[in-house]
Structures are given as structure tokens and as C-alpha cells.
Amino acid sequence: MSWDAPTGTLADLCDEVVTLPVEASEVVFRGKVWDVRRDRVDLGAAGVVTRDLVEHTGAVLVVGLREVEGVDQIVLIRQYRHPVSSFLWELPAGLLDQTGEPPWEAAARELAEEVDLVAARWDVLADAYSSPGGMTEAVRIYLARELRPSPQPHDREGEELDLRPTWVSLDDAYAAALAGRIHNSGAVIGILAAWGSRAQGWRTLRPYDAPWPEHSAYRP
């Protein structure tokens, strides 16, 4: 019974990266961006199960923060997402699809490409899995501060052509996330994490190059 389950503490709350035995693995679909892999994995007492999963490169997101007349503001973008038929408010973000590029450099590149900003101060704000039941995507969300305009504005094209940055107070973004007005999961996590970290004097921040073993490419 869950009512009688033990009571844990902060020390207990840490996800564990493990690799259970995989008896067979094959790519059953190759897509334009991502592939679908089918694994037969041994769960021990639960037996051997077959799981289809999307192989994803992972992504980085950026909470770009500035202060204007004593008010903390973050930059958001509004972008159309066809799978959910919606224009979504999102954080500047991008895929980890360039071989050998460290995650924080990818985050800086995306900040410049999507909203024409550069930052002098970077910290890790939060890490997450987008949908761990069906895809490998691991995301890392950075807090970027000491912002300034990029010396060379990026020439956007394609689906990024209509991106328009908007500054909003962190408090308003927090209220919008709690009210169900923002639905991009990375944006919701980043906004809530930034608001919560600020409430604790930013003590929860981690170095920009903090270990990230949850992403398969950065495990020891």
C-alpha cells in the first residue's frame, strides 16, 4: 500500500542512470530528423518487453534574463508547431546536432541565432527528459545573464523567418505557466525553475559545464 510506503528525503530524490540488458535492437523507421528504434529489453522480474522509441539528439534551451528598472525580464519567442497545431510561447532553443559542440556552446549559438543576443554569464538551471516513456530526448536549460545585442544579427530563414522576440517579466511568465497559458514543456520547466531559483537567491544554479550523464553522449 502506498500509504505505508517509507518517507524519503532530499537525499533519496536522485534519478539513477542504468542500462538494463537489451536482447535485440533494430531501427524500424528512418525519418528526416529522427529515427525509431525497437528494443527488446530485459526488465528482470517484469520479464522481457519490446519498446519502440524515438532516437533524439537532445536539446538545449535558454532563459535569457535582464533587469529593466528593477524588473526581471526574460525573452520568449512565439513559434508555430505543426504536430500540436498551435502557436506556442517558447524559450530560445535548439538541437544538439553538431558533432563535438559542447552543450553550453550550442545554447549560446541558439541564443544568437534565434533572438540576436549574447550573454557573458551562463549557468545550468534545470535538466529534464522530454518524454522518457517514448524518446531519448534529454534537455538542458540554461540561465543566461549579462545580456547584450549580438554584434552580427542572424539572417533567419525557413520556419524561423517569423520568429519575433518578446520581453516579459519573469513574474508574468510564471503566472502564465501556472495558469495553463504556456504549454511548451521546456518553457514551463525553465520559467518555473528560474522563478524558484531566484526566490532562493540563485543558490540552486550549477556551473555551465556541470556533468550531464543523463544525456548518453556525455556519460563518463
Among 1, 208, 3, smallest CA distance to 108 is for: 208
Q: How many angstroms separate the CA atoms of 161 and 157, rounded?
A: 4
Class of residue 120 by CB neighbours under 10 A (exposed 0-12, middle 13-18, buried 19+): exposed
Asked if 112 contacts 150 with a C-beta cutoff of 8 angstroms, the reply is yes
Beta bridge partners of residue 79, listed in sequence order: 88
Check 55, 105, 160, 214 and give the catalytic one. Answer: 160
159 has catalytic annotation: no
Under 8 Å CB-to-CB from 107, ≥6 apart: which residues? 60, 61, 62, 94, 122, 140, 142, 144
The catalytic residues are 160
